[in-house]
Structure 1
Amino acid sequence: MRISTSQFYESSAANYQKNFANALKSSEEASSLVRVKTAADDPVGASRLLQLGQQASLLDQYKTNSNSIKASLGQTESVMTSINNVLARARELAAGATNSGYTDADRQANASELGQIEEQLLSLMNTQDENGKYIFGGSKDDVPPYSRNSDGTYTYNGDQSSLKLPIGDTMLMAANSTGWDVFQQAANTSRTQVTTQSAPSPDNGTVFLSNGQMSNAGKYNSDFRKGEPYSISFVSATQLKITDINGNDVTSEASQNGVIGNTPNQTVSFRGVDLSLNVNLKSGDNAGALLPQYSFQLGSKPDSFNVARGPGNPSTAQVTGTSVTDQAAYNSTFPSGSAVLKFTSATQFDLYAAPLTADSKPVSSGTLAGNQATAAGVTFTLNGTPTANDQFSVSVNTHESQNILDTVSQLKSALNTPTAGNTVATQKQLADLASGMANLASGTDQLSIGISSVGGRGAALANQVEINESLSAANVTTRSAISESDPAEVMTRLTLQQTMLQASQLAFSKISQLGLFNKI
């Protein structure tokens, strides 16, 4: 086979360029020790490097989120621990006030310190983080979660939403604890009340029956609620009688089958509720004649409402009173939790479930009658004339739970009530203190659950951080193995390619001298 001179030169030049390019590439690789710079260098390796890069970015974000959650949990736990310490002092003050040697002045001194504790609790429960966000407000972290109402009670302004951040491929973790979970769900053990139905005139306080204290939530929900309200009467000096709403005699379910003594400080237990019974007989009193003149009604506290005027209302009208006037309509229609009463004119109004949005539909509508607006079974009494776009926020208190601020406030009020020389007032105060201490215990238990939740999340976070660090280390190792070169292998290859380049130069030089023109 004949090879033309031009073919020889072209083939030699192409071979030389190829060897030169290989040597140059290996030289660059030896300088940078980076094997895969473009997808052409290693298509499979480049694809894997892209995936590993994305994973590394996610792991960096997980680390940032983890640091943020760790700081948030640390602050939350610190605040909760402070609240727990404050509540411990409140319990000491309440327990000390039950001392029979305390005077009204002593109890009022305790009440004054409870007032300071109340302010301290409000400040702690409205704690802000380094960015000015309220840590217990849920997703509504731009407004204080707790505010004091005009009647001295407190309203939770936050929501139940937790801010969850990803800390792993399949793991989300709440960065905050809501006031709803930590404070609002504390069971209210004082959710029943006793009202006097009949008593001798004048009533000299022979019989005092306290409001009920829930001692067994299961029996209260399953047994007590189905028969309320109950009537409590006395058939003799030593026997009381309890009948349910249908007139059935259920005395047999009371402690000692309703047998009582003519002494103070007795406890009557009935369907998960404990009542303090005091029979205050004076010299010459006939218990058999006096006690049957007393009768009481026992039932759960009716729902109450707190109404706040909208800050942007065009008028100065205020809601001064609320009451359930149609129980059936209230039970079936009124929104649970909270509602918004909105006036569309000076006389027309709508009631919405909160929060009010552009898509909200009214659950009830009506016309103002005098100064009263009745919606979904609840009558609102106003002072002043409303105008269109007036709004009132309505929060419902079902008394099933009670936050610690309301509990401390009630304890303070109980201790500020004078009792000197008044037996019944003293007994009522002791019952109120017992109720307050039980609710303090309930609030502390709920707070402990919140602290445990923070601790559990902290432990889970630490475990996930360790996993992420291991993944990050493996990611770096794998990327290095794919993208980086072995120095020994690169130098060996470079030496071989340089030798081949030199050989191709020498071969070209020798073969080019074999032409016919060199023989003439």
Structure 2
Amino acid sequence: MRISTSSFFELNTLAMGLQQQNLFNVQQRLSAGTKFLTAGDDPVGAARALGVTETLAESSQYAASRERATLALKREETALDSTTVLLQNIKTLTVQAGNGTLSDADRGALATTIQSNLDQLVGIANSDDGNGQFLFAGFKSASPPFAALAGGGVQYVGDQGQRLMQVDAARQLSTSDDGRSVFQTVQGGAGYVTSGLAGNSGTGVFSAVSVVDATSADYGKDFTISFTGGNYTVQTQDTPPVVAASGAFTAGSPIVFGGLQLSFSGTPADGDSFDVSTAKNAGTDIFATIGELVTALRTPLSGGGDAAKAQLLNALSTANVKVTNAHDNVLTVLSSVGSRMNEIDALDTGGAARDLMDKSYLSAIQDLDPASAISEFYQRQTSLQATQMTFAKLASISLFNYL
């Protein structure tokens, strides 16, 4: 079969062009460091690489969310740490205020210090994250969660929403706690709180409440102890009330009722009453508790006699128990914050391990082996050069050379 000159040139040109294209493809892959430049080069590998790349991008988003969640929790942790310090200071000052050698002026000075701590506590409760979002406001994070009341005290105006953040594919984590659960709540195991009524005129001072029988039918109810004619009567605060215990009062002797026990020193006057309530029903607002403590310390004892001293000691005991309950509650919330931060650390560790495996898999799919690619490059380059030299030789042959 005869091959025309034009066909000869055309076929050789196409062959050299294909070799040049293959050589250029190898050069591009060497430059990019990848096995394929387009999905057409390796459809299966390109699809796998795309899936792994999307997984890595999603993991990066979760990592960014965890970073923001950690920052939010650290801000809350700082605020709660400051709260525990303030509450501990108030507890110390409350115990100090019970010193019988203090004068009205001394107690007034302590009241001023406690009021300062209270103001700082309200400031912490209304702290924000630096971007105008209040830490303890729930979903109403655009405005301060605690508002001052005209007659004194503060009111919670936030809500109990928890701001959740998606920190992993199957995990949403709360990055905040609402102010009510932090500053106006006690733990379920907080126990009982005893308090004297404002109109008491005797010298009765109650002791701490202890649990003697948690299986009692009345255990967990709220009680009122009243004194009349040298006798005491303990009634539940049910409707109608039920008598839980009664008898002749003896100073220092325990009064047992509803699985509880306490005693009184001094002599309660006729008509004096004391509430023994579960902590959740005894007033859980720490701001109100501290405000009542300040008021009690600023009330002069001069001229009030033993009855005024008894009222002060009872008020201090009540405040001490309530502040302790509030302190324990804040510590519980702080522990929860720490647990969430630990969980984020664990998710970060797991995410980093998954990313490492995904990146290794992605590298195996698309990363080029430089040694084999360079070898292929030189092979194709040599082949192209040989083809070009052969074509040049053949193209120069003519019958005239043999005449």
Following superposition, the deviation at residue 105 of structure 1 comes to 2.2
- Corresponding position of 1:404: 286
Within the candidate set 357, 367, 374, 1:474 is matched to 357
Secondary structure, in 3 states, of the residue corresponding to 1:37? coil
Cα displacement string for residues 467-497 of structure 1 (whole angstroms, at most 9, x for unaligned residues): 2233333333333333332222112112222
Cα distance, 1:165–1:414 mapped onto 2, change above 3 Å: same
Q: Is the 8 A contact 1:189 1:439 kept in 2?
A: no
Q: Is the 8 A contact 1:127 1:135 kept in 2?
A: yes
Following superposition, the deviation at residue 118 of structure 1 comes to 0.9
| Structure 2 unmatched runs, 5+ | none
- Corresponding position of 1:56: 56
Distance across 2 between alignment mates of 1:108 and 1:190: 29
Secondary structure, in 3 states, of the residue corresponding to 1:452? helix
- Corresponding position of 1:415: 297
1:18-417 superposed matches below 5 A: 18-186=18-186, 205=201, 208=204, 223=218, 232=226, 237=230, 240-242=232-234, 250-251=244-245, 258=247, 260-261=249-250, 263=251, 268-271=255-258, 277=264, 280=267, 294=271, 399=281, 402-417=284-299
Aligned amino acid, residue 185 of structure 2: Q
Moved more, 176-185 or 487-496: 176-185
Q: Is the 8 A contact 2:205 2:310 kept in 1?
A: no
Within the candidate set 313, 316, 322, 1:433 is matched to 316
- Greater relative contact order (CA < 8 Å, ≥ 6 in sequence): 2
Q: Is the 8 A contact 1:207 1:277 kept in 2?
A: no
Residue 500 of structure 1 pairs with residue 383 of structure 2: yes
- Corresponding position of 1:483: 366
Distance across 2 between alignment mates of 1:85 and 1:157: 25
Identity %: 24
Aligned amino acid, residue 116 of structure 1: S
| Structure 1 unmatched runs, 5+ | 197-202, 282-290, 302-397
Aligned pair count reads 396
Distance across 2 between alignment mates of 1:247 and 1:59: 61
Cα displacement string for residues 110-145 of structure 1 (whole angstroms, at most 9, x for unaligned residues): 111111111111111111212122112222211112
Cα distance, 1:117–1:195 mapped onto 2, change above 3 Å: closer
- Corresponding position of 1:316: none
Following superposition, the deviation at residue 279 of structure 1 comes to 5.1
The structure whose residues are more often helix, as a share, is 2
Q: Is the 8 A contact 2:183 2:326 kept in 1?
A: yes
- Corresponding position of 1:362: none
Q: Is the 8 A contact 2:211 2:261 kept in 1?
A: no
Aligned amino acid, residue 435 of structure 1: T
Distance across 2 between alignment mates of 1:229 and 1:474: 63
Cα distance, 1:83–1:269 mapped onto 2, change above 3 Å: farther
Distance across 2 between alignment mates of 1:416 and 1:124: 25
Distance across 2 between alignment mates of 1:137 and 1:66: 21
Cα distance, 1:268–1:517 mapped onto 2, change above 3 Å: farther
- Corresponding position of 1:444: 327
Cα displacement string for residues 354-385 of structure 1 (whole angstroms, at most 9, x for unaligned residues): xxxxxxxxxxxxxxxxxxxxxxxxxxxxxxxx
Aligned amino acid, residue 280 of structure 1: T
Over the residues paired in the alignment, what is the CA RMSD in angstroms? 3.9
Cα displacement string for residues 202-241 of structure 1 (whole angstroms, at most 9, x for unaligned residues): x99457587x987669959962566x7768565x74x544
Q: Is the 8 A contact 1:220 1:273 kept in 2?
A: no
The structure whose residues are more often strand, as a share, is 1
Cα displacement string for residues 42-89 of structure 1 (whole angstroms, at most 9, x for unaligned residues): 112211221222223223323322322222222222221121111111
Q: Is the 8 A contact 1:111 1:412 kept in 2?
A: yes
Following superposition, the deviation at residue 191 of structure 1 comes to 6.5
> Normalized against structure 1, the TM-score is what?
0.65
